[in-house]
Amino acid sequence: MEVTYMVDSAIHAVHDYLPDASLHFLELIKGDNPDSFTRLRKLSVLDIIYQMFDRKGCSQWSDIMNFYDDLNKKQTITETGFYLARKKFNPEALRVMSNEFIANFYDNNADEMKKWKNHLVLSVDGSKIILPNTKENEAIFGRINAKPTSKDFDSKPVSGLLSTLHDCLNDTFLDVKFGPCSSSEKYFASKHITTYCENFIDSAIFTLDRGYPSMRLVDQLINSKQYFVFRLPSSFLKAYTNQIKAGEDKVIHITFDRESTNQYRDDIQFRQHLMNTTYTLRFTKLIIGQDKDDQDIVELLMSNLPEDEYSKDDLKELYHLRWTIETSYNRLKNRMKLENFSGYKSTLIYQDIYADIWLYNIISLEILYANDQVAIEQKQEGEYILKRNFNKAIGIMKKLFIRALISMDEDTNDYALSVIKDNIAGNLVWIKKGRAYERKRTTTPSSMSYKSTY
């Protein structure tokens, strides 16, 4: 059998991508500041992007000083000037470039990306992000679980909703949305599905947790010719799901009448579409274990996966695979310090989130590249397996990524790149087989986990 390898490492790929992309998306980068970035100044668009990647969680002054040190270049601008320039950079451009980069990488390495039964396994989920507690951010994002009229309103944290489309096997984010904490997760999920169908060619299975089931999403996925698995709450389509016993796997033809579509009465077109459509859906009540009283723990799943191709055990495996997104969110928040923002302004918050997601993808792809080049030899049979240490990969990339990418000194550049690759390839960690997600560690976000200047 012919062995294929990844075309190149993610560091090389982003090195080749960014110069052209920063020119191609220049008008989007300018956003509401059409006169910005029009002349050659001390600070280029690329410098701003690179510094977003290079954020280490220090003071604004220290972050800028460290950045120029990584470039092996004399600092020619104050931190005030730097962050004023960053505020003119439209963060949406960073999100668009990050999405295009990961889509291009998948296209160029389609045969090498991990798949399950020839499909990518994707998960949609959201997470609340604690934000700097300012009146401006309160007005933009809102406070978590708080009504403006409640007595404890001011004690609730300001937060936003981060929603992502996550590749469960390759540990990458294929799309990201961020907005007010009251944003609709289902709306973001619909946008993720559209983004995937427009930008990726691999067939996929979408897995969604019990907060997402809706006939709009079911209809969208079916019309997009995508497979899906929803974890259902007991209230969803209960007239049908109540017929299913624990351990049972059944295909049911779902129809709707006027009464069962009352929730869609504000959307006459979709309501009529529902009443004129029969949905053939598969419902499975999986027994996934027993509780402390030895009673069965049952999960209800809804899918459109063919029974003759995907068994109940396959569905159980898919159900467990989706939990890798919880591990990824934990790494973003607690290892990459996502909530330690460059400043309190919403523009900087959006930039930091999109830059961290992009850097996370680069780290994951570098680990895949290391796995592709040097296979891990499992030295013993047992309940533990060896994997490459993601947390140490974060550390080495935070330290040397910019030096490897763009240092003005070629020897420094080559040395940093070799150290990154050697460290990622050489640092292994034992992981218990079948563990769905990393152990949770209590973390209390600092009330000043951001820089107060901007």
- Contact partners, residue 332, CB within 8 Å, separation at least 6: 338, 356, 357, 360
The encoded tokens of residue 225 equal 């010719």
Total domains in the fold of the chain? 1
DSSP assignment of 25-71: THHHHHTT-TTTT-S--SS-HHHHHHHHHT--SS-HHHHHHHHHHHH
Report d(CA 228, CA 212) in Å as an integer: 12
In this prediction, residue 70 carries a pLDDT of 82
Report how far residue 121's alpha carbon sits from residue 318's, in angstroms, rounded to the nearest whole number. 8
pLDDT at residue 3, rounded to an integer: 36
In a domain, 313, yes or no: yes
Token digits for 55?
A: 């954020």
The DSSP letter of residue 261 is: G
Residue 369 within a domain? no
| Range of the structural domain that residue 295 is part of | 94-326
**Chain centre to alpha carbon of residue 61:** 29
pLDDT in single tens digits along all 454 residues of the chain? 333 445 568 999 999 999 999 999 999 999 998 888 876 567 889 999 999 999 888 888 888 988 888 877 888 888 888 999 999 999 999 999 999 999 999 999 999 999 999 999 999 999 999 999 999 999 999 998 766 666 666 778 999 999 999 999 999 999 999 999 999 999 999 999 999 999 999 999 999 999 999 999 999 999 999 999 999 998 999 999 998 999 899 999 999 999 999 999 999 999 999 999 999 999 999 988 878 888 888 899 999 999 999 999 999 999 889 989 999 999 999 999 999 999 999 999 999 999 999 999 999 999 999 888 877 777 666 677 788 899 999 999 999 999 888 876 677 788 888 999 899 988 888 777 665 444 444 444 444 556 666 6
User: What pLDDT, on the 0 to 100 scale, is given for residue 151?
Assistant: 64
Kindly state whether residue 40 falls inside one of the protein's structural domains: no
CB neighbour list of residue 190: distance below 8 Å, 6 or more residues apart: 216, 217, 220
How far, in Å, are 49, 55, 68, 369 from residue 52 at the CA level? Answer: 5, 6, 13, 24
Domain-located, residue 300: yes
307 beta partners: none
Residues 228, 233, 237, 239: is their CA dihedral positive or negative? positive
Which of 54, 46, 55 is closest to 15 using CA atoms?
46
DSSP element (H, E) containing 207: strand 204-208
pTM: 0.90
What residues does 207 pair with on adjacent strands? 123, 229
Instruction: Look at residue 339 in the predicted model and tell me its pLDDT.
Output: 95
Whichever domain contains 198, its CATH number is 3.90.350.10
Residue with tokens 């989706």: 322
Instruction: Specify the pairing of strand 204-208 against strand 120-130.
Output: parallel
Give the pLDDT confidence score for residue 61 in this predicted structure: 86
List the beta strands (DSSP E) in 382-427. 384-388
Q: Is residue 290 part of a domain?
A: yes
- Asked if residue 141 belongs to a domain, the reply is yes
As a whole number of angstroms, the distance between CA 280 and CA 255 comes to 9
Instruction: Look at residue 254 and tell me if it is in a domain.
Output: yes
CB atoms < 10 A from the CB of 213, how many?
19
| Within-domain flag for 115 | yes
User: d(Cα 94, Cα 84) in Å, to the nearest integer?
Assistant: 17
